[in-house]
Amino acid sequence: MRNLTEENVTEAVLEQIRAKDPRTQQIVTSLIKHLHAFVREVEPTELEWFKGIEFLTRTGHITDEKRQEFILLSDTLGVTILVDAINHRKEEGKTESTVFGPFWVPNALEMENGAHIDRGPENERGAPAVVRGRITDMNGKPIAGAKIDVWQASDDGFYDVQDSNQPEMNLRGIFTSGQNGGYWFRTIRPEAYPIPDDGPVGDMLKATGRHPYRPAHIHFMISAPGYEKLITHIFVEGDKYLESDAVFGVKDSLVVDFKANTSKEEAAGYGFTKTPFYEVEFDFSLKEA
């Protein structure tokens, strides 16, 4: 088309899209329609448009092997949780999923049930906690041999990969459910922490009056042959950021009580030297694949 106007430009662009692959055709067509609708709605000045270009450029330049600012942007705009919700629709009896986040790493240590995933020196540990529960199918039937990959931040709010003071593979572990579907491990009670906010995403949060905090949580990725993989968190009831998670990951069904137990004897039974320690029970139910 050689006479493009404000009125016909969207149609003219769409006419040029002739992908062989129908899914590519669908995605690119929809992207162009919605992108143009956004531009038509806000009518950016040329300076605003250029600031958008600069924002994306900075987001690309700060991204490296250790930091994925585009995922963070997707998270903080609620896109990641929306994609998660679409791909793992809620079903009665199935544990809800939530965002994967950027901090999982492959090949965490395989551990026996009951192991402590904090591998740092005793005195660096936060409030001790015991997490236990069962892996079942959607009817409550135990699943033995499920792999339960767990990861969380330290009480300072950093994952091992962000923090050279932590030993490698700290606060991570892979557990296997027993004959009755049971699992358990020892850890520290997680704390709320800010997502990295010294880059463009942090600037966006500030400009829109938002804080960068995520409520305290422990990540789980649970897989068993014949079942859909479940990626989720458990959140600590009472955390002040449950209502305003910077990445919109909170679901009521995933918020659990971390119950304080002040018994020195019971603490000692778990090898804990501090009280109170915290007890958590959470069962996960998987959907057949």
Nearer to a copy of itself, 3 or 179 (CB): 3
> Toward a copy of itself, which CB reaches closer, 178 or 196?
196
- Shorter beta-carbon distance to a copy of itself: residue 70 or 282: 70
The Cα 253–Cα 235 span in angstroms is: 9
Max Cα-Cα span within the chain: 83
State which residue, 149 or 160, has the beta carbon closest to a copy of itself: 149
- Show the tokens assigned to 20: 């062989």
Cis peptide before 276 (omega within 30 of 0): yes
Nearer to a copy of itself, 173 or 212 (CB): 212
Handedness of CA 227, 75, 73, 152 (dihedral sign): negative
Enter the tokens of residue 172: 């991570």
The answer to whether 213 touches 232, Cβ cutoff 8 Å, is: no
Structure tokens at 159: 């994952």
DSSP 12: H
Q: Using an 8 Å Cβ cutoff, are 252 and 242 in contact?
A: no
Gyration radius of the chain over CA positions:
23
**Residue whose CB is less far from a copy of itself, 46 or 92:** 46
Give min distance, CB of 41 to a copy of itself, in A.
Answer: 5
Smallest separation, CB 277 to a copy of itself (Å):
26
Minimum distance from residue 208 beta carbon to a copy of itself (Å): 5
Say which residue the tokens 């919605």 belong to: 34
Taking the complex as a whole, the smallest distance from the CB of residue 161 to a copy of itself amounts, in Å, to 18
Question: Nearest approach, Cβ of 279 to a copy of itself (angstroms)?
Answer: 22
Residues shown for the chain: 289
Angle, CA of 281, 105 and 125, to the nearest 5°: 55
Shortest gap between Cβ of 168 and a copy of itself (angstroms)? 26
Structure-token match 């829109």, residue found: 208
CA distance 103 to 153: 9
As measured in angstroms, the least distance from the Cβ of 47 to a copy of itself is 10
Rank residues 104 and 158 by Cβ distance to a copy of itself and give the closer one: 104
